Amino acid sequence: MGQLDGRVAVVTGGANGIGRACCERFAEEGADVVIADILDEPAMDTIAAVEKRGGRAAYMHTDASSPTDTETVMQHAIDMFGAIDVLVTAAGISTGGYVSGRPGSEVEVERDPIRRFTEGSLADWQHVLDVNLTGTLLAVRAAARHMHDLGRRGSIITIASIAAKHPGAGAPAYAVSKAGVWMLTKQAALILGPAGIRVNAIGPGFIETDMTAVVRGMPELEQRLLASVPLGRLGNAREVANAALFLASDQSSYFTGEMLHPDGGFYTD
């Protein structure tokens, strides 16, 4: 018996990194998975990984910041598998220039932080907020509407970050977007709780994915980051997916409006 037997999960950002690990972990526990992402080829690898674990999977090219794309992929999940029981919103970017699948595509980390803050591009700021924050809102709203209409007591899991509560853990637009995701999660938990829909966040620490490749390429910076992590290492995507599995499953049936931190102890002090 799997913990998610017969359930259907939609995972934004499911083509790579933490989102892909969630797809794989959920499939191991019996779920069918719909992947919403913009990385078409890597999404095929996620499909293969889900099928290898005995699950069914579908992919739709979906820009998380597009209301139309988001509505379409949710309807696709209903058409393909009949329901949405679980949503994970893992689609995200660290800076306006970051492109997943091309580690190191963002170079801003090299620049003087005062100049980056005072002269940084407004278009980049908006792009980060569009994908990370508005994208989360769009997915949460669309999935919750289907869950409510179908009478499903679903579980919604947003991916925030330690940066949601700590200004030093990401660039300004990123940290602000994740703080917004955390408040949105609590708002949605309040509003959707009476319908039996639970909404929780995961706030990962430093996880080994394409998003942290630029840090791992700079040993001094990596050492500085690891000094704030009692376990002394980066986390891996599966460790975040295990937290997502807990929140997706009935094991967490009395959790809502909460944020779990797989962060190696970053928040210990």
Ligand X SMILES: NC(=O)c1ccc[n+]([C@@H]2O[C@H](COP(=O)([O-])OP(=O)(O)OC[C@H]3O[C@@H](n4cnc5c(N)ncnc54)[C@H](O)[C@@H]3O)[C@@H](O)[C@H]2O)c1
Closest CB 52 distance from ligand X, rounded Å: 19
What is the C-alpha separation between 64 and 15, in angstroms, rounded? 13
Closest CB 143 distance from ligand X, rounded Å: 15
List CB contacts of 81: < 8 A, sequence separation 6 or more. Answer: 8, 32, 34, 56, 58
- The DSSP code for 194 is G
C-beta of 24 vs 210, nearer to ligand X: 210
C-beta of 195 vs 213, nearer to ligand X: 213
Catalytic residues: 174
Closest CB 34 distance from ligand X, rounded Å: 13
Spell 49-67 as b/e; 16+ CB within 10 A means b.
Answer: bbeebebebbbbebbbbbe
C-beta of 152 vs 166, nearer to ligand X: 166
C-beta of 17 vs 55, nearer to ligand X: 17
Alpha helices in 99-236 (DSSP H): 113-119, 122-128, 135-149, 172-192, 213-216, 219-226
Closest CB 145 distance from ligand X, rounded Å: 20
Paired sense of beta strands 57-61 and 86-89, if any: unpaired
Token pair listed for 56:
């069914």
Site residues (vs ligand X, CB under 6 A)? 12-13, 15-19, 37-39, 62-65, 90-93, 100, 131, 159, 161, 204, 206-207, 209-212
